Chain A
Amino acid sequence: MQGGSSGIGYGLKYQARCISDVKADTDHTSFLTGTLSLKEENEVHLIRLSSGGSELICEGLFSHPSEIWDLSSCPFDQRIFSTVFSSGETYGAAIWQIPELYGQLNSPQLERIASLDAHTCKIKCVLWWPSGRQDKLISVDEENLLLWSLDSSRKAAQVQSKESAGMLHYLSGGAWDPHDVNAVALTCDSAIQFWDLRTMKKENTIEHPHVRNIDYDSKKKHILVTAEDESGIHIWDLRMPKFPAQEFSGHSHWTWTVKCNPEYDRLILSAGTDSAVNLWLASAPSGDNPSESLVESPTRQSNPLLNSYTDYEDSVYGLAWSSREPWIFASLSYDGRPCAFILETCGHTGGGRISEAISSEKMKANSLVLWYGTIPSHCKTLLADFEFIGIHTIYFI
């Protein structure tokens, strides 16, 4: 891997598309991933980053009936997750629970809590209530948006409301606004649609074609990031939806997915079919944070791309930030190899560490360092030397 941040690898048996951060697991950094094999028995892997952060360990391996096209972990229960699957012409979506004693069972079976079986066409994704214990789910198929209420104790899911997106709008995915739980953004062929879940009505649309994936900035309200087939990445301020606020070049081929960092706004990760994962830093909206003027350098303005991880063999479809340790992310390429990356970071406090970091050998090795918080004054002189000694990939956030 490039830039001194080496990835920690793992291997699935088959091809795979989706990986999800297990948000509810507060003790470990773990991810769930599911395979996509047409003919073989598919599996769901629960993988965990070892405490030293040096390897990915398989914590659980469960068989899954069909190939998995979408997987997302329940935000409040680490044992529950949802999948969207298909085999041949059939399709379905279900909520699963990892059996409690799976460590002691020989072949642990996933327990199906509920089937989201009210769909009449191809299901695209399942979205969980963005945060907290709310048994609400959204599932999106090509034509409809369904709001479910999940009763995990009674093992049932019921459709609360269902609305059609209208003729000729083939929905492809969506995102639940973490700042406004009544708002959901859906992507379709030619536009981004904004729905209000109370009325189940389309409130607004942005005409913007070829959107593959969207994600809300979980820290900044009104900020939405989209990934497009050919035209890269756009950041939208929903208060001014006519034009994108920022634009990145994205990937050499399609930009498949974008993920905003759960903790540090403006830090965006994207994966593409050019077998690369890119880390971007959006420029701050003007007048947002005056203390940052020190580090505004022209080079950074012109190139928001912080780093590009290119050591993949195939297209990268799966991408997830760890919400527990937001400087770690996992990526999944189609050949079934999840990789975790740890961005090297300096802490919030004290100038000691930053000067240490600056003077350390590691820094000279062209590494990517993220600095959170303000820069202590006595380090500024040290910082001034940076350009001089030729380290350019240091970014302060």
Chain B
Amino acid sequence: MGTEELPMDEKAKRMRDLLSSFYSPDPSMSDSNNSPSKYASLDAINTLSFDPDRYMNLLVHKSNLEGLLQRHVEMAAEIKNLDTDLQMLVYENYNKFISATETIKTMNSNIVGMEANMEQLLEKIMSVQSRSDGVNTSLFEKREHIEKLHRTGNLLRKVQAYGDSSFRDCKRASEEAVLTIIKNLQGKLFSDSESIQSRAEAVVLLKQLDFPVDNLKSQLLEKLGQFLSQLQLEQWEMSTDSNRSNEPSNQGNAEATHEASMREFVEALRAFRVIFPDSEMQLVKLSTELLTKKLILLIHAGVVWTDVLLIDEVLPEAGLADFFLEAAHVAIKQYVASRFSHLIQDISDSLMAQTREKDGEEYSLLVTLEASKKTVLQGSMDVLLVKFENPGPDFRQLLDDKLDLLIKLKGYVIDWVQGGFQDFFRSLDDHFLFLSGKDKTISQDQGITDGLHGEKVLAGLVLVLAQLSVFIEKSAIPRVTEEIAASFSGGGVRDYEHGPAFIPGEICRIFRSTGEKFLHLYVKMKTQKISVVLKKRFTTPNWVKHKEPREVHMFVDLFLQELEAISIEVKQILPQGLIRRHHRSDSGGSTTSSRSNPLRDDKLIRSNTPKGRSQLLETHLAQLFKQKLDIFTKVEYTRESVVTTIVKLCLKSFQEFVRLQTFNRSGFQQIQLDIHFLRTPLKEMAEDEAVVDFLLDEVIVATSERCLDPIPLESPILEKLVQAKLARTKAQNPPTS
């Protein structure tokens, strides 16, 4: 059994035995199983019944000299081990003892300190008690005094109760009087039969009586409003009447009554203004508000304008028409403005939903884009419909009446709506810029509240904005233009001087440039992010002392991950472009690839020879012969174009970073390996394989130029390392995903 046990276990067991033998007074306890062996065995050495002589005899008998010697050596070693173990034990115990003594010592000293503390505490408690006693005694007098005061107070209250009832009667009577006065005054104010002066006086009096005048005012306004609608109804009936019966006398009659009621209305308005002279602004505002509400109805009724005109004729000095027109201006203008500002808010909300929703959802970009598109289009249509459907036909009808005023108003409305759209799209553009954090001055003005400005603008949002701008340019504005053309063919008032207020061409241009700006911004943001990865990669190691490349550096993973993320993001929103990849065998691609590869090899070999002097000349020659590839082509609104642009820019950055370093041979080989690895995935990602190939070659060339000893890795080794990397990535991400 002992032989089968692991040596470690044996040792542990022995330790345990030793320990127990050391601590237990009764040794039989530990050795109860090991019955004293009567028969001779060499294993009996650890038992209690160990007899040295017998053991020796047995040993001498059993073993040969070699065995004995070996046994001796073993024994010696064992003895030594045992010695050290015992020593260790003693030492440990001693240590424990020392620490125990120390603990006791510290406890002792702590207790000594505590005693003093306790004494102090006791002292303090005593002093607190004595002080509280002192306070008690010193306050005793005052307490008595207070009690006395309280008693007097009670007495006084009793006395007051007697006198009080009479005071209260007086007060009640006077309040009643005030109430009646107020009531009378109110009645006076509301009765139309009273003169304006007296009503104004009443208001002043009411004010003096601290009566809430504002309340009255609003009541009065309401009354005015009622009056207005009543008036309107009356007019409407009247106009239908007059339409039915064409008798001039009747019409004249009706007009006379109508005129009277209109005059009454004006009178009421005037009275109101006189009565509340201090709150004219408020009045204007309220009345405009009222008018706004009524306005569409009014316009609908269509007739009121004739009245306005009539009144204008009768009472030119009242300036009613102007006033009314002005009110209408303000109302419609406000209405249009608020409509548009709401629309901007809506769009902004639907855009911001993107940032609020966490980026976990894959389709959130698409959702945002669609929502925003819908908001833009629907919102603009709503504005158009409300403004055009209701007044539209009436305007046309009114146009037949050839009333100057109406034409004038119609012109204004056209201008407002068109100008509204112009301003709307302009401010939408500004708002987009603000959202993207590009226009820092605006965010400075408005104060950064959302916390998404500065560096933290989501690239996805920028992409959505870019696409939305395109949508506005391509679809929304033509739609709006069409609608405007359909509803209002005539020009506005300012036509002759400035041209129409809504210039779709200009807005389109603005949004086209904004869209491009956003697309560039997106590309820029993404490139910047990758640039940071590249920069870290190139500034961290010492390239002159680089170790031999063992594997593809892990930064390629980061690089590819970023690109992958971009293509996912882009795939959500941007449309697919024309597939050009399969046409790579046409002339443009082939010339470049034939240029780059052999030349690169040439160059690498050349640079090793001492005749490297002509190297640059050759590069020049090569550049003369090569068709200059335009790396920085225009970005288009397609997935491929955006991804390709980003890949190209990053590879160019790669080259530039390389040019800032100096490499030893291994450093060069590392770059060569990394580039070799990147070649396949990048070509898959980018649309233009030739350019990617070219740029990757350029990186290698740049590295070899910056290398002290540019000897490339053999391609089998390259391949092997790349395969190893691929195998590892595959193992990490099983193909199930």
Contact = CB atoms under 8 A, between A and B. Distances in A.
A276 to B, nearest CB: 9
Interface size bucket, B side? 20 to 34
B620 A335 contact: yes
B47 interface: no
Contacts of A334: 659
Contact of B616 (A229, A231, A252, A335): A335
A40 interface: yes
A239 to B, nearest CB: 15
Given A39-B612, A335-B616, A242 B623 contact: no
Interface size bucket, A side? 20 to 34
Given A40-B613, A229-B528, A252-B632, A335 B444 contact: no
A89 B544 contact: yes
A88 B444 contact: no
A284 interface: no
B708 A38 contact: yes
B679 interface: no
Contacts of B520: 249
A372 interface: no
B619 interface: yes
* Most A-side CB within 10 Å, residue of B527, B528, B632: B632
A395 interface: no
A300 B531 CA distance: 33
A230 B531 contact: yes
Contacts of A37: 616
B687 interface: no
A15 to B, nearest CB: 7
Contacts of B707: 38
Interface string B683-724: 000000000000000000000011110000000000000000
Contact of B708 (A39, A40, A314): A39
B449 interface: no
Given A242-B444, A315-B656, A335-B616, A210 B528 contact: yes
Given A86-B662, A89-B544, A15 B653 contact: no
A335 B441 contact: no
Contacts of B539: 170
A89 B527 CA distance: 30
Contact of A13 (B528, B542, B607, B616): B616
Nearest to B635: A252
A165 to B, nearest CB: 16
B649 interface: yes
Contacts of A242: 444
A28 B620 CA distance: 30
A28 to B, nearest CB: 28
Given A253-B652, A335-B623, A243 B444 contact: yes
A323 to B, nearest CB: 29
A15 B705 contact: yes
B426 interface: no
Given A230-B527, A253-B652, A254-B653, A336 B440 contact: no
- Please classify the interface of chain A as helix (H, G, I), strand (E, B), loop, or mixed, using the class held by over half of its residues: loop
Contacts of A263: none
B524 interface: yes
A244 B531 contact: no
* Most B-side CB within 10 Å, residue of A13, A37, A39, A170: A39
A229 B620 CA distance: 27
Interface in A226-252: 229-231, 242-244, 249, 252
Interface string A1-29: 00000000000011100000000000000
B402 interface: no
Contacts of A296: none
Contact of B524 (A86, A231, A274, A336): A231
A334 B619 CA distance: 12
Interface in B501-551: 520, 524, 527-528, 531, 539, 542, 544-545
A89 B708 CA distance: 11
A100 interface: no
A356 interface: no
A313 interface: yes
Given A252-B632, A253-B632, A253-B652, A336 B444 contact: no
A244 B438 CA distance: 11
Contacts of B631: 252, 274
Contacts of B730: none
Interface in A307-353: 313-315, 334-336
B612 A40 contact: yes
Given A88-B544, A229-B531, A231-B524, A38 B440 contact: no
A227 to B, nearest CB: 13
A334 B701 CA distance: 13
B616 A313 contact: no
B151 interface: no
B511 to A, nearest CB: 14
B632 A274 contact: yes
B295 to A, nearest CB: 38
Contacts of B527: 230
A285 to B, nearest CB: 14
A202 B360 CA distance: 43
B628 interface: yes
B662 A88 contact: yes
A38 B632 contact: no
A219 B647 CA distance: 41
B616 A14 contact: yes
A313 B630 CA distance: 11
* Most A-side CB within 10 Å, residue of B528, B539, B616, B706: B616
Contacts of B613: 13, 40
A40 B615 CA distance: 10
A37 B652 CA distance: 21
A84 to B, nearest CB: 13
A13 B615 CA distance: 10
Nearest to A273: B656
A335 B656 contact: no
B461 to A, nearest CB: 18
B448 to A, nearest CB: 12
Contact of A230 (B524, B545, B662): B524
Given A38-B662, A230-B527, A242-B444, A253 B653 contact: yes
A253 B649 contact: yes
Interface in A46-89: 86, 88-89
Interface in A174-230: 210, 229-230
B625 to A, nearest CB: 12
A231 B440 CA distance: 14
A273 B613 CA distance: 25
Contacts of B632: 252-253, 274
Contacts of B441: 243
Contacts of B705: 15, 38
Contacts of A315: 656, 659
Given A38-B707, A40-B612, 5 more contacts: A88-B662, A170-B539, A243-B444, A253-B653, A274-B652
7 contacts: A38-B708, A210-B531, A229-B653, A230-B524, A253-B649, A335-B619, A335-B620
Interface of A: 13-15, 37-40, 86, 88-89, 170, 210, 229-231, 242-244, 249, 252-254, 273-274, 313-315, 334-336
Closest CB pairs A-B (n = 8): A252-B632, A230-B528, A243-B440, A89-B544, A313-B623, A230-B524, A253-B652, A274-B632
